[in-house]
Structure 1
Amino acid sequence: MRKKERTEAILRRLHELYPETQCTLDIDDNVFHLVVRAVLSAQCTDVRVNEVTKVLFEKYPEYTDFLSAGEEEIGRIIKPCGFWKAKSHYLYEIARMMRDDFGGEIPKTQDELMRFPGVGRKVANLIVSEMFGIPAVVVDTHCMRVSGRLGLSSGKDPAVIEKELMKILPEEEWAAFGHRMVDHGRAVCTARSPKCSDCALSEYCPSSGKKV
């Protein structure tokens, strides 16, 4: 089976397995909220981030509230997410830059978003795809691992993997593909001891049954 045919078969199967896939971070109408959640998600579970930000946004719902609260108060609330000193500084600086550099708005391009501290390509792609409807592939650790095992990517660098996937995936699949990689990576294709014998993609996977 040629790579194009195999890719199409994998996409069809992923649609069957995870028809209602979505971002596992909570999303509302406030773009700033998703930026905050995405920054906090570094080295922290999405479940924990959602719990913490529920409390955070009840008290400080707008970026201007973060400026009034200050880094120490923000840090006190986000402490369960880990690395709270760095993250509270990032969030305060993002709020300050929104005020000083972007007219109180979150910018709509990846390059501008990556000017924010704590925001790399992965987070920038998540923001533009989820909030602005701009097609983008979000390459996180699950996407790197699962797409690599499936033979859809060969790079070790997220930027390289992103380009590889953009070449072989239909543009309308870019955002959902990343979410489905997370779904499958958590449920079946785990980092250690992947469940190859239970995997619905095993017939298309060159890594099936191999030691990892």
Structure 2
Amino acid sequence: MLEQAAVDEILEILAQLYPNPTTELEHETPFQLLIATILSAQCTDQRVNIITRKLFADHPTVESLEQLSIQEIESYIRTAGLWQTKAKNIKRTCEILIDNYNGEVPRTREELMKLPGVGRKTANVVLANAFNVPAFPVDTHVHRVANRLGLAASSNPNQTEEQLTALIPEEYWKDAHHWLILHGRRVCSARKPNCEECPLAHLCQTAFTHQ
């Protein structure tokens, strides 16, 4: 694990590289972000955005989307991974939101994780990006980059989240989540990270070991 001075320098560099970061999932409401995040499992944000542009144009609200059958939802999301399971989860989530939450998206992790298809990462994405609740979502990019850099030393995302939230001040959680995602997509890729051009290489615990 890194010393705090190195952690601070990493955060400063990432902030300069990726100013004003935000989720790349297109949405206008917390409900739309929830559905987009459910769809994003094993699916790129770009693909999700293609799907939701049509889906949300036709059915922007929970009440409208809930009226669709599972088969009709499938017809919109068929190009997403695990689309059959996701269609069932989206349908049931809409029903639960209407029946139990007056059509509103709950604002606690515990309540969000009761919804079908919503795990800890999805709940944290909604909390941080829709409600500005302090949360640190850990997806595959965050998990990979954090462990390569030495910000975490863990084999599973939940432990990585615990270590990151202990190491990084709460006011940086939302931005740091996005910084690590963007760095993972643009520089620190899974198979062949671009260590030669990475401005964090001099601080990274595993630089040039994945070539």
Q: Tell me the TM-score range normalised by the shorter chain.
A: over 0.9
1:67 Cα deviation (Å)? 2.0
Retained in 1: the 8 A contact 2:27–2:33?
yes
- The residue identity in structure 2 corresponding to 1:165 is L
Q: Which has the higher contact order (CA 8 A, sep 6+)?
A: 2
Q: How does 1:46-61 map to 2 (within 5 A)?
A: 46-61=45-60
1:133 Cα deviation (Å)? 1.1
Which residue is equivalent to 1:42? 41
Equivalents in 1 of 2:68, 2:195: separation in Å? 49
1:82 Cα deviation (Å)? 2.5
User: Any gaps of 5 or more consecutive residues in structure 1?
Assistant: none
Which residue is equivalent to 2:7? 7
1:126 Cα deviation (Å)? 0.6
Equivalents in 2 of 1:47, 1:70: separation in Å? 25
Which residue is equivalent to 2:119? 120
RMSD: 1.3
SS in 2 for 1:69: coil
TM-score w.r.t. the length of structure 1 is: 0.96
Q: How does 1:1-212 map to 2 (within 5 A)?
A: 3-28=3-28, 30-211=29-210
Equivalents in 1 of 2:18, 2:103: separation in Å? 37
**1:102-126 CA deviation, whole Å, 9 max, x = no partner?**
1221100001000011111111001
**1:163-198 CA deviation, whole Å, 9 max, x = no partner?**
100111011110111111111111111101111111
**1:63-89 CA deviation, whole Å, 9 max, x = no partner?**
111221111101111111132211110
SS in 1 for 2:114: coil
1:146 Cα deviation (Å)? 0.4
- The percent of aligned pairs where both chains have the same amino acid is 37
Equivalents in 1 of 2:4, 2:106: separation in Å? 35
- The residue identity in structure 2 corresponding to 1:21 is P
User: Any gaps of 5 or more consecutive residues in structure 2?
Assistant: none
1:25 Cα deviation (Å)? 0.6
- The residue identity in structure 1 corresponding to 2:66 is L
- The residue identity in structure 1 corresponding to 2:167 is I
**1:124-176 CA deviation, whole Å, 9 max, x = no partner?**
00101111111110100000000000111011121111110011101111011
- The residue identity in structure 2 corresponding to 1:25 is L
Q: Which runs of 4+ in 1 moved over 2 A?
A: none
1:205 Cα deviation (Å)? 0.6
